[in-house]
Amino acid sequence: MKEKRLYLFTLIIFTFFTLVLFWPIFFGKVNLNGHLLVSFYAIFGENLPFKDTGWDQLRIYFPFYKITLDTLRSFSIPFWNPYAFSGHPHFADFQTAVFYPLNILGLVVSQITFWHILRITPTIFASFFTFAYLRNLKLNPIASFFGALVFGFSPFIITWGEEVVMSPHSIVYLPLVLLAIDKLQGKFRRFYFLTLVFSVCISIFAGYLQTTIYLLVLAFFYLLYRAKSLNLELKFYARTISGILMGIIISFIQLLPSVELFFNSQRSGVDFSSVVKSYLLPPISLITYLAPDFFGNPATRNHFLGGNAQYYEAILFVGIAPLLFSFFSLIKKRDSLVIFFTASAVISLLIVVDSFFSRFFVSLPIPLVSTAIPHRILFVPAFSFAVLGAIGLDFWMKNKKVSLAKTIAFFVFLFVCIFVYLAYEAGYFSSAVSFTPELAISARNLVIPLGVFALIAFTTIFIRNRKYAAVLIILVTVANIFYFSNKYLSFSEKKYVFPKNEALEFIIKNQGIHRTFFVGDRKFSNNFATQYAIFNPEGYDSLNNHSYSNFVFETQRLPKDYIALRRSDAELGFKDHLDTAFNDEGKRKLLDILGVKYLVVEGEDRNIVSNFNGFIKVFEKGEVAIFENETAFDRAFLASDWQEIDKEDVFLNGKAEIISYEPSKVVIKTDSPEPKFLVLTDNYYSGWKAKIDGQKAEILRPYSTFRAVEVGLGEHQVEFYYDSDIFKLGASLTLLGILALFVIVLKSGLLSVLKK
């Protein structure tokens, strides 16, 4: 009972800390960078100060959740997004996380409220689960609380949650997986077997497969380590490995469609190894373990670390105190568990920091290794240092005669080395002294870390009651976390979160099923249209359909190295030099074939568009104008040819009328005096099928990416509908997995009863 009260108390404290961390949401603010949205993108016409953070939340995750929640509320599965990429597989896109259990709450609350649930739960889950794991290691409550706080509120959790909302959700179940592995060392325990199964399954459903794979790899080596160090029987291997495999099988309903999309995306067809290598961290970035903002911070718009990795992708900092006690545990305790987590942290860092080893690793022809940036693995050292720090603090509290003097001296040496480095860079060891702005930023951002270290050192040396000292260290750690988080997190007024204006209202009212194209780089990002239910030919997604991207890029005659660089985008090529773009036959053809009825332009671009034939201005307000493209194709039309379509191929003597348009089903009525091809300029993807007058028909693929069927003369009704075979296979395997799990649990229950 006492232990249960302890768990309840820590859960309340972690929840309280989280709510304090996100306090602005209780005063009407939204944890989304709305200031960036309405100020950077000219169509919104604002000029507010904003932090340079949270881009992908705006460009991917928040708009995509609009599709997910709206469809789930109608008790359907959101298989298809008709608003991006001229149609895009939504459910199969792993990061949409359609089956993540928390989505149930999205059925009864608003999109913004649900967004806040997604944002605040990772810190609570990660902290509480880590606390449970550390208590099972027999660490004292204070040390367990410390380690849980360090991981749950780690800069990795905070920054990745601010940039990629689902990423933390895929890793917070790591402590539960390790706890379940430990609990299954003796007899079979149904509760912990189910914990293992569903922790793996839910991590997969959280929608960030790369981090889940790293989690599973760490869990596998952890069970091998436990089995060897404790001389466990083969039954342990059977229990744990079967639990992990069961979790994977139950998630097949999501995994199989997502794997299929991966192999049909740009990432599987283009060599990204050179791009991935450019994101490896320079070794000098290891300094940020002591000072997270040594190279600046994007929130203050002064980040200057070399390489392509963004700030959150290069986040190493875990806090001064956990790092200090981690080194202390390695020096003083050095048992097998300490060595395991030390090795886990070191190997993970070797994969990320630029070296011969890391370049060799990312060159391996393995999916998600050679095609994805490796920084997602940095949660492993974050968790490892949290565990090591807790072990070190526990050992220090229990052994009164053990001193931190050597560890503190080592950290003093590290800080001295950093100051020597700054002096060297400033030229103090030569005749020419030049203290650049970057060096000033580095020196300034050393003040707080140095102060925190001094306070921790003072506490450990001069406060004799180590329990009081540990509590003070935790308070310093909390203050450090809140300072870091307040600096990075963005909050905006609700009125700045995807607001509507007259231009957008005009499009929504008049678009029908035609597409709208926003001209220029700072007018409207690719996936914003999804939030407004505006049909858009462009898109931004790491798993975009390569047949459509290839069509768009090849029509513009772009080189392959450009395609690799823009692997997540499908763009029509009108960002700059509009006069050149409109004179480009391929780019102009894209607008027409894709049925782009409206062009939204701003500023001087209005005059450029006016100079070209076929565009009529239909709206103007302030700096924004909307032009109608008179030569745009209809979304559905009859044609004499289907492979490559030109104006002369369009059959004008027949009729193709869309009588019903839904994301996963399009019904078209045709009437033609002779056999023709019905073309629908929506993307084809595996799962789309067709019927003509109720009879199955073969789908043809104009330009290898659209949908077409051959129709006879007279009137016909054509139905394109989404019916994925790979989804049905995955669902069947998931049901089999659930049934097998039920049998295993039921059998174990009967056996335990019989034994009694």
The residue-averaged pLDDT of 472-480 equals 93
- CA distances for 20 relative to 24, 317, 419, 471, 741, angstroms: 9, 21, 35, 19, 40
Cα-based distances in Å from 443 to 304, 306, 418, 420, 440:
14, 18, 9, 11, 5
Cα separations in angstroms, 515 against 37, 488, 511: 22, 36, 7
Backbone Cα Rg of the chain: 29
Query: What's the chain's average pLDDT?
Result: 90
Rounded distance between C-alpha atoms, residue 351 and residue 357, angstroms? 7
29 near 486, Cβ under 8 Å? no
Beta bridge partners of 626: 600, 619
- Does 559 score more than 80 pLDDT? no
Lowest model confidence (mean pLDDT) among 128-132, 390-394, 641-645: 641-645
Q: Which residue has the tokens 């190279």?
A: 295
How confident is residue 567, by pLDDT bands cut at 50, 70 and 90?
Answer: low
Whether residue 181 contacts residue 226, with contact meaning beta carbons closer than 8 Å, is answered with yes
pLDDT at 54 over 60: yes
Residue 754 has pLDDT above 60, yes or no: no
CB 690 within 8 A of CB 670: no
Six token digits for residue 742: 């039920």
Q: Residue 271: pLDDT band by 50, 70, 90 thresholds?
A: low
pLDDT per position as a tens digit, 176-220: 999 999 999 888 888 999 999 999 999 999 999 999 999 999 999
C-alpha 405, offset from chain centre = 42
**CATH number belonging to domain 636-723:** 2.60.40
Q: Where in the chain is the domain with CATH 2.60.40?
A: 636-723
Average pLDDT over residues 57-64: 94
CA torsion, points 312, 254, 119, 140, in degrees to nearest 10? -80
568 has a pLDDT exceeding 80: no
- At position 78, the amino acid (one-letter code) is P
88-89/515-518 β-pairing: unpaired
Question: Given strand 676-680, what is the order of strands in its sheet?
Answer: 636-639, 676-680, 707-711
At 325, the pLDDT band (50, 70, 90 cuts) reads: very high
CA 128 and chain centroid, separation: 23
* Interval 575-608: pLDDT, tens: 666 777 777 777 888 888 999 999 998 888 788 8
Cα–Cα distance, 567 to 74 (Å, whole number): 33
The candidate with the shortest Cα–Cα distance to 157, out of 388, 485, 473, is 485
SS3 602: strand
**Which residue's structure tokens are 């870390």?**
449
Q: What is the pLDDT of residue 137?
A: 96
pTM comes to 0.93
DSSP 8-state assignment for residue 282: P
Express each pLDDT in 276-315 by its tens digit: 888 899 999 999 999 999 999 998 888 888 778 889 989 9
Beta strands in 208-345 (DSSP E): none
